[in-house]
């Protein structure tokens, strides 16, 4: 058919598109469905003759055209519809625009002179996604058989990776922080501080596995001297049974051990300086370790003539001293005529160590005496053990 009988469809806009549907009618066919048209912009032709809208047919729902009189079998029905011309659902190459749905690129996407900005979060199951939230910032999400995320350098070598399904990170090389930077946890951000010269400072006491520090690594040369005599409470480190387990021990244990190895040995306990003092106290007695004591006095000069050097004992660490008439029953002295002799006096409230004039004490500048617990065999009256003193 070369043409149509009837007027043309009025065109309200110079940029419109025309859609034509041609079909062969069946006997008495009135309904022509699934056409798709714009209501008011459709013409229907039957065997080349244009039908009148509203009289010969109705087209009101944009899909179906209904003939008022059933067609004859074999009639040719042509439906022509017109719509607005659109260039397509595209984003301008020159001006850019917005994609309202996802896009798929079969090749690389290059941002030349600009950046790729994302505004949505990623989701579990994303094979490889870049996201963003205001709280988390840039988000990288992925899932692989070995790693979920891998960061590589320009040589295609892995620098950092997050093993699949974990929250840890694996670094292929060194980790460096800024000079005077810190390494820490959420609760202790500066638990490890590293100065620019490499000195490491811990905010908490570090815990090392047993046996992890070799003796050669313990440098005590730069330590501060104790500045005092060693006492029983001072600590040392020992290898328990040479089994590799380090334990602490007090100096008193060393003294006990030495006492079992050195028969009759002597142990230094303490020393003190006396100046313009009428008395001096010694409180280092320990019956669990010692059974006798040796006292040495050097350069002792009495302030007055006829002054004796006496000894009293205490059972309450010096708060009170024994001064009863029966507290000191025996003494052995060696300052009379150069030979020792025994003296007994049940009325004394002390032990007399030296009874000399000032001049004689001045000449004798060194005095020794031994003090120990025993029961003298020559005791004429006392049958109890009493402390005795021997001037040497």
Q: What is the pLDDT of residues 161-184, one digit of tens each?
A: 999 999 999 999 998 888 888 998
Answer yes or no: is pLDDT of 63 > 70.
Answer: yes
When mean pLDDT is compared across 56-70, 111-125, 322-336, 354-368, the lowest value belongs to: 354-368
Of the ranges 15-29, 135-149, 351-365, which one carries the lowest mean pLDDT score? 351-365
Compute the average pLDDT of residues 321-342: 56
Q: Which is it for strands 65-67 and 386-391: parallel, antiparallel or unpaired?
A: unpaired
pLDDT score for 338: 44
Cα 301–302–305 angle (5° rounding)? 125
- What pLDDT does residue 279 have? 82
Ramachandran region, residue 57 (left: φ > 0; alpha: ψ -120 to 50; beta: rest): beta
Average pLDDT, the chain: 77
pTM of the predicted structure, to 2 decimals: 0.39
Alpha helices in the chain (DSSP H): 251-261, 358-363
Task: Kindly report, residue by residue over 246-288, the tens digit of the pLDDT.
Answer: 889 999 888 778 766 666 667 778 888 877 777 888 877 777 7
User: 124 vs 367, which has greater pLDDT?
Assistant: 124
Predicted confidence band at 19 (pLDDT cuts at 50, 70, 90)? confident
Higher pLDDT, 339 or 199: 199
The dihedral built from the CA positions of residue 170, 173, 177 and 182, taken in this order, carries a sign that is positive
């Amino acid at each position: 058919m070369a043409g149509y009988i009837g007027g043309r469809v009025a065109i309200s806009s110079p940029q419109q598109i025309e859609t034509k549907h041609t079909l062969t009618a069946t006997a008495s066919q009135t309904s022509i469905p699934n056409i798709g048209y714009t209501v008011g912009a459709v013409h229907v032709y039957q065997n080349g003759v244009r039908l009148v809208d509203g009289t010969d047919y109705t087209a009101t729902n944009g899909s179906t055209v209904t003939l008022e009189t059933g067609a004859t079998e074999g009639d040719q029905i042509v439906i022509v519809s017109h719509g607005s011309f659109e260039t397509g659902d595209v984003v301008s190459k020159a001006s850019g625009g917005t994609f309202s749905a996802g896009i798929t690129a079969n090749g690389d996407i290059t941002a030349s002179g600009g950046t790729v900005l994302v505004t949505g979060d990623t989701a579990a199951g994303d094979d490889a996604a870049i996201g963003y939230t205001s709280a988390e910032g840039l988000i990288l999400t992925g899932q692989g058989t070995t790693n979920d995320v891998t960061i590589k350098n320009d040589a295609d070598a892995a620098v950092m990776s997050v093993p699949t399904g974990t929250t840890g990170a694996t670094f292929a090389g060194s980790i460096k922080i800024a000079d005077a930077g810190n390494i820490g946890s959420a609760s202790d951000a500066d638990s490890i501080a590293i100065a620019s010269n490499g000195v490491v400072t811990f905010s908490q006491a570090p815990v090392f596995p047993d046996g992890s520090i070799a003796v050669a690594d313990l440098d005590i040369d730069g330590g501060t001297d104790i500045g005092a005599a060693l006492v029983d409470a001072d600590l040392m480190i020992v290898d328990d049974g040479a089994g590799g387990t380090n334990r602490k021990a007090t100096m008193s244990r060393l003294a006990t051990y030495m006492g079992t190895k050195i028969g009759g040995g002597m142990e230094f306990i303490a020393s003190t300086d006396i100046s313009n003092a009428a008395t001096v106290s010694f409180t280092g007695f320990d019956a669990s370790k010692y059974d006798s004591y040796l006292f040495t006095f050097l350069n002792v000069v009495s302030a007055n003539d006829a002054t004796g050097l006496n000894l009293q004992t205490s059972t309450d660490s010096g708060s009170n001293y024994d001064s009863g008439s029966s507290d000191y029953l025996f003494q052995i002295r060696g300052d009379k005529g150069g030979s020792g002799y025994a003296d007994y006096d049940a009325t004394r409230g002390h032990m007399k160590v030296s009874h000399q004039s000032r001049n004689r004490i001045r000449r004798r500048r060194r005095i020794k005496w031994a003090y120990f617990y025993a029961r003298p065999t020559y005791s004429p009256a006392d049958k109890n053990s009493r402390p005795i003193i021997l001037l040497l």
